[in-house]
């Protein structure tokens, strides 16, 4: 479905087919325009030679290295298979060298992984962002018997990735698909700010009554917003901690990577005065900074939820005042603000009131625009 979506969005279908043919892995591919619940989409067909071949990782890597692929597509395809091999090795508790790639080593899975990497390369995708992943539900039949969805390797690969389950009771994300997503995507979450160039829909094999069985790819160019990403917010209500310790905890959280930390006075149960500690963090830093909150404060519990953060692009300009140089932060929309630490330092050095230094910096910046 991913290769079909990328081809539908503009990746050269002939180039993808030629790349797969150069693998000499026993598979050829073709593309077909189809409809799923009324939506037009592209179906990526893989035609594999009869027979079930078990391959080791080293054999697959050699196959990819010998194929006629671009450097980035080759590097990414090998990285996906290594990630997949590591997951299978951990699930089965064997060295990665002994992993038989069973289903994932079949010609059609090689064509899926390499096809996706080639398509991303053809589209010159510099940054890949993946939405939360629908893993499905129910059970799936494998060579190891009936297993719950998500399959063990899929669940392991998707550790720390946002997932959900909706729709028919069947496997909607395979280990192969999970490996591609977690290896190639720089982040998971909301749609980043961009100017859309094209969209594409890749068709699955089934017709679902609840929704179109398609995967959508959106290709675009970045815009002025510098950040549009999912963040985690950690909160705690605290009424039994020395304010000095609480202030220190806030400083530690900022030093260790929090995007922002705030303390808000609140009235808690039984009329107790307390503080709401709110920490905005990157999802990958959530657990580490949650442990810092536990270690540095008296709270026994936290609230953690997801939010979206948007930040305009910013640049720095220097202005000269009679007291010294001040950096001014300027947004893409024209808003500006003198850097507090610069103004504070000049106020301390000169003995002049801080508000006067800030006013001088504002005036210097405006004069510089004339």
Percent of residues, the chain, with pLDDT higher than 90: 73
Among 18, 41, 19, 46, CA closest to 30:
46
Please give the share of the chain, as a percent, with pLDDT higher than 70.
Answer: 95
Q: Mean pLDDT in the chain?
A: 91
Please check the confidence at residue 369 and state whether its pLDDT lies above 90: no
pLDDT at 181: 97
- Ordered by start, the domain boundaries in the chain are 2-223, 227-310, 314-369
Categorize the per-residue pLDDT at 106 as very low, low, confident or very high, splitting at 50, 70 and 90.
confident
Kindly report which listed range (102-116, 321-335, 337-351) carries the lowest average pLDDT score. 102-116
Q: Which of 59, 111, 112, 105 is nearest to 84 (CA)?
A: 105
Higher pLDDT, 98 or 317: 317
Is the link from the previous residue into 173 a cis peptide, with omega within 30 of 0?
no
Q: Quick one: pLDDT band at residue 226, thresholds 50, 70, 90?
A: low
pLDDT grade for 331, boundaries at 50, 70 and 90: confident
Residue with tokens 């028919």: 168
Residue 104 is predicted with a pLDDT of: 47
3-state helix, strand, coil in the chain (%, to 5): 40, 30, 30
Annotate 225-258 with b (16+ C-beta within 10 A) or e (fewer): eeebbbbbbbbbbbeebeeeebeebbebbeeeeb
**CATH architecture entry for 227-310:** 2-Layer Sandwich (3.30)
Q: What is the largest CA-CA distance in the chain?
A: 84
Which tens digits make up the pLDDT trace of 155-200? Answer: 999 998 989 998 889 999 999 999 999 999 998 887 877 889 999 9
Cα–Cα distance measured from residue 222 to residue 83, given in angstroms and rounded to the nearest whole number: 29
Two structure tokens written together for 125: 């995708």
What does the alpha-carbon distance between residue 370 and residue 368 come to, in Å, rounded to a whole number? 6
- Could you tell me which of 181, 104, 184 has the C-alpha nearest to residue 142? 104
Q: Residue 314: pLDDT band by 50, 70, 90 thresholds?
A: confident
Q: Among candidates 78, 187, 196, which has minimal Cα distance to 133?
A: 187
| Lookup: tokens for 198 | 């094209």
What is the pLDDT confidence band of residue 100, given thresholds at 50, 70 and 90?
low
354 and 321 Cβ atoms separated by less than 8 Å? no
- Residue 82 CB partners (closer than 8 Å, separation 6+): 57
Q: Is the pLDDT of residue 351 over 50?
A: yes
Task: Give the strands of the sheet with 303-312, arranged side by side.
Answer: 260-267, 273-281, 225-238, 303-312
C-beta of residue 31 within 8 angstroms of C-beta of residue 43 = yes
pLDDT in the model for residue 62: 92
Q: Can you give the pLDDT at residue 324?
A: 94
Bridge partners of 164?
Answer: 134
pTM above 0.95, yes or no: no
Q: With a cut of 70, say whether residue 105 has pLDDT above it.
A: no
What residues contact 251, with CB distance under 8 A and at least 6 apart? Answer: none
Residue range 287-305: mean pLDDT, rounded? 95
Q: Residue 246 has what DSSP assignment?
A: H
Report the pLDDT averaged over residues 252-264: 95
In this structure, how many other beta carbons lie within 10 angstroms of the beta carbon of residue 353? Answer: 10
What CATH architecture is 314-369?
A: Roll (3.10)
The answer to which of 220-224, 280-284, 329-333, 334-338 has the lowest mean pLDDT is: 220-224
> Which region among 99-113, 250-264, 313-327 has the lowest average model confidence (pLDDT)?
99-113
Provide the token pair at 90.
């951990």
């Amino acid at each position: 479905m991913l290769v079909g979506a990328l081809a539908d969005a503009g990746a050269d279908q002939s180039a993808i087919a030629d790349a797969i043919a150069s693998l000499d892995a026993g598979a050829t591919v073709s593309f077909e325009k189809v409809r799923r619940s009324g939506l037009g989409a592209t179906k990526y067909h893989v035609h594999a030679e009869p027979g079930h071949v078990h391959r080791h990782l080293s054999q697959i890597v050699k196959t990819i290295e010998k194929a006629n692929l671009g450097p980035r597509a080759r590097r990414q395809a090998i990285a996906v298979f290594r990630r997949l091999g590591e997951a299978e090795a951990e699930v089965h508790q064997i060295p990665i060298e002994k992993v038989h790639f069973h289903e994932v080593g079949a010609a059609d899975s090689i064509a899926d992984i390499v096809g996706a990497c080639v398509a991303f390369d053809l589209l010159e995708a510099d940054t890949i962002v993946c939405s939360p992943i629908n893993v499905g539900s129910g059970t799936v039949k494998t060579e190891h018997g009936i297993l719950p969805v998500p399959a063990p390797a899929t669940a392991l690969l998707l550790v720390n990735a946002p997932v959900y389950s909706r729709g028919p009771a069947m496997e909607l994300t395979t280990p192969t698909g999970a490996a591609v997503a977690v290896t190639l995507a720089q982040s998971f979450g909301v749609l980043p700010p961009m100017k859309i160039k094209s969209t594409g829909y890749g068709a699955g094999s089934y017709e679902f009554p609840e929704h179109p069985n398609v995967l959508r790819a959106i290709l675009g160019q970045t815009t002025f917003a510098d950040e549009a990403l999912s963040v985690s917010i950690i909160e705690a209500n605290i009424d039994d901690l020395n304010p000095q310790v609480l202030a220190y905890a806030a400083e530690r959280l900022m030093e260790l990577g929090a995007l922002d930390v705030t303390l808000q006075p609140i009235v808690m149960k039984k009329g107790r005065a307390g503080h709401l500690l709110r920490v905005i963090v990157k999802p990958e830093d959530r657990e580490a900074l949650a442990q810092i909150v536990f270690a540095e404060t008296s709270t026994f519990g936290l609230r953690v939820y997801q939010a979206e953060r948007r930040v305009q692009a910013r640049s720095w300009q220097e202005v000269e005042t009679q007291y010294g140089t001040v950096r001014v932060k300027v947004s893409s929309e024209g808003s500006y603000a003198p850097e507090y630490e610069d103004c504070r330092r000049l106020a301390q050095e000169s003995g002049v009131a801080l508000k006067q230094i800030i006013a001088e910096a504002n005036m210097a910046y405006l004069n510089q625009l004339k």
